[in-house]
Each structure stands twice: as C-alpha cells, then as structure tokens.
Structure 1
Amino acid sequence: MNPFITAAVFTYPHEITVIKHLLQEAEITHYFENEMMTGIAPMYSHAFGGIQLKVHPNDLDTVKNILDQFLSNDNLKIV
C-alpha cells in the first residue's frame, strides 16, 4: 500500500473549507494533517508545518487540477 503524500500546504483552517468540499464532491480520499492543531493554535501554524493536504499518489494529478481550477477562478478567492 502506498502512503499518502502532501499535495499542498495551507496556513490557516479557513483556507481549506472550500477545498475540502471540492475534494469530497470529487470523491477523493484525503485528509488534512495538523488541521486540529492549527485550529487550536493558529499562530503556530508555521511551527507545525502548516495544514498539509494528504492524498493518495494515484489521485495527485486530479487534486492538482482541482486546486488549479479553484485558484484560477476569479469568483472564489480566499480572503
């Protein structure tokens, strides 16, 4: 079995809200490492290594496409 790999790193919990929904909608198995710790102590996000989006290596290309589409959409910007 292949271990999950990091597809992206985020700083704050609010940044992953829409992305989490998009990944669930695409039925991609994923998890966010350090999500709870960063939610408890957001100022230590960099010390924890940020919130890391972990996905299966077979899904990496699909996840990259989802992230690229999300970030290039002018109507959906994380503030």
Structure 2
Amino acid sequence: MSELITVATFNFAHEIMVLKSILDHEGILYLFQNENLIAVDPLASYAYGGIDLKVHPNDVERVKEILNNLNTNLEIV
C-alpha cells in the first residue's frame, strides 16, 4: 500500500469544512490528521503543527487543483 502524501496544512478545524464536502463529492479519499485533537483544543494546533490533509499519491494533482480553485474562487461575505 502506498503512503499518503500531505498536500496542505490548516490551523483550525473550521477551515476544512468546505473542503471536506468537496472531496467527498469528488469521491477522493482523504485523511485530516490531528483534526479531532485540534477541534477539542484549538491552541494545540500550534503544538502539533496544524491539521494535515493527506491523500493517496494518485489524487495529489486533483486535490491541488481543488485547493487552488478554492483559494481563487471562494468569496466570504
């Protein structure tokens, strides 16, 4: 089995909510490492290095494209 690759790191649990929905919709398997720990204690984010998004090597390019689209097209009102 191939190892998962870290594609991005987030500081807080609320930052990954939209991304989780998109990844589920696209059928991409993922792991958010430290998600529960940081959801319980947000200040632990700095101690543990944040929430790592890990995906299969075959999905890395697609996930990077999704992240890029989120960064350029997401408007917060």
- Aligned partner of residue 70 in structure 1, secondary structure: helix
Q: Using the alignment, how far apart are the partners of 2:42 and 2:26 within structure 1?
A: 28
1:16 match: 16
TM-score computed with the length of structure 1 as normaliser = 0.92
Question: Share of identical aligned residues, percent?
Answer: 44
Give, as a single letter, the amino acid of the residue that structure 1 aligns with 2:7: A
Stretches of structure 2 lacking an aligned partner (at least 5 in a row): none
Runs of 4+ in structure 1 deviating by more than 4 angstroms, as ranges, are none
- State how many pairs are aligned: 77
Alignment RMSD (CA, Å): 1.3
Kindly state the Cα deviation for residue 74 of structure 1 after the two structures are TM-superposed: 4.3
- Aligned partner of residue 23 in structure 1, secondary structure: helix
TM-score computed with the length of structure 2 as normaliser = 0.94
Stretches of structure 1 lacking an aligned partner (at least 5 in a row): none
Give, as a single letter, the amino acid of the residue that structure 2 aligns with 1:62: R
Q: Using the alignment, how far apart are the partners of 1:45 and 1:51 within structure 2?
A: 7
Give, as a single letter, the amino acid of the residue that structure 1 aligns with 2:52: Q
